[in-house]
Chain A
């Protein structure tokens, strides 16, 4: 039975209503220091009914959609704020991410062999601390609303995560990485896991006995992994319209960006940060958001100017604009709120050599370890993991833990050159209450910043 068959239970009884059935299936293999913990499989799903009258009533049930509809209507008549949803087109469509090798056909034996092999690569390189995880994930969604939209989607994905550490001479160094793609099992080939693991282990060995990075004002070149986390934390998050208008205030916080700041300069003219759910095989891929709005690329910071926000229909209606199709629910039992998908710096036209060649003295922060940012997304910190001195246009010795602690405006204003390469890294972005961890990509090319303080 389709969710659309249940719409009559709420149609005519609310100003707006939607029913979503969502089911997430994850097969998961973990290894800890060489030991296969055992396969784990989660199959988790149910109905979410959201209706709007005096306020939103949101009710979930894993067994009784009729009862959920009744309860949702009841809750929607509690006293709340006046909500005006943005006007959107009625869409009716089915979409799915293709799998060349279906995830459902992959056996546990194959996964165990792969993960054991990956672990052995690290063990052979004397990496003592090894926590590895591989997930095969299939998400199915069916959505209908009282305006006539009906969307059915299917998203298979692969995801790899590790936390590794080495110890030498009383020192320790750790790293983590998360990689993911939507699609079938064939997508693992694009993750180049063997090369990534070897590179990570070698990087730890290079820096563990390296001297502490110098401090002071200097030029900084950051790699795509660092560019990605910057784009995500201090562009994507502050451009979420619910934060801007205070709806997330008691949880993930608000934003330094205010409603009237569209058109305000935040960075140099070479800065273009976009969020795009429609990049094929990206980890945060979707063609319609969880309110049935058709997805598109959003220019968040365009030529250094604050350009457009990430909206769902609630925030867009409040601002009197159209949704930018950013509504996402991480699981069947979560409300759809504005989220990122793939957030990245658009590439420029510098080669890596060109970025480095006129740096007299500075740091190359290739990857990062610890990072954080305040709840209005203005005051942030990135600590380098694999990092090197740049001297007279050349990469020199490795250094340990350079710290970039900087405001958003300063960071984006100091970018003077953008590389032409582009790489993406996966993440699980947290927001909402209860917490919603959604799959995202973040990335970019190499970036050069002039005269920033390294601590």
Chain B
């Protein structure tokens, strides 16, 4: 049964209309507002010391949290899929915690743990190590909120490829390390890559948890989303819009890099890129604005 032409076009119009109203219109407005008076004002807004520092801090968060979560995520996925064990269900549940808990709550919990009255706070500050209102706390918050993505994207791909290729490699003389690098990792790379993109997007946009642990000190502990929010509150709309544009461009760049990298990695073999994590993407988006 094929839908009639009018039904087909009706559905398309509906889909585009819905997406346009909910997604494209707001983003388009920001673009319009930013470049309303040419390229000069946004460039000026983004080259102020506070803005530059905010960009630097955001990139620093990405540079630390993404590799940490990638290594942890792949390792954790291997543990969950390849080593069946009763505790796996518990680990699996704990990994979902950052999805289930609001980032604000995550921020508060870190505050309680590392604050002056918390478990670790006093000991760490005696050692001269300050976690709250400084970069370590923000890194912790970023890692926490973006932890599940790589695991969630990698687990289904690992399950799908099965163990035969790895077994074949071992009969051919490869040790566990060689098997991982030459067989397992290339086979799951799309899952991992999606996880990395989602992690990056999450860290770039993180607001709730970071705002609590950082104290949002301009030029010191202010990431780009915090900078955007503060500019907006202080009626510096030009900076707010420009900051938002930079955030969006950073996220787009990540996506673009992954597509280019993926295409280069496999030119000979056709076939669509497997999309493993639709649910994870959806979850990521709902968390983005909190």
A binds B: no
Name B residues whose Cβ lies closer than 8 Å to a Cβ of A: none
Residue ranges of A at the interface with B (Cβ–Cβ < 8 Å) = none
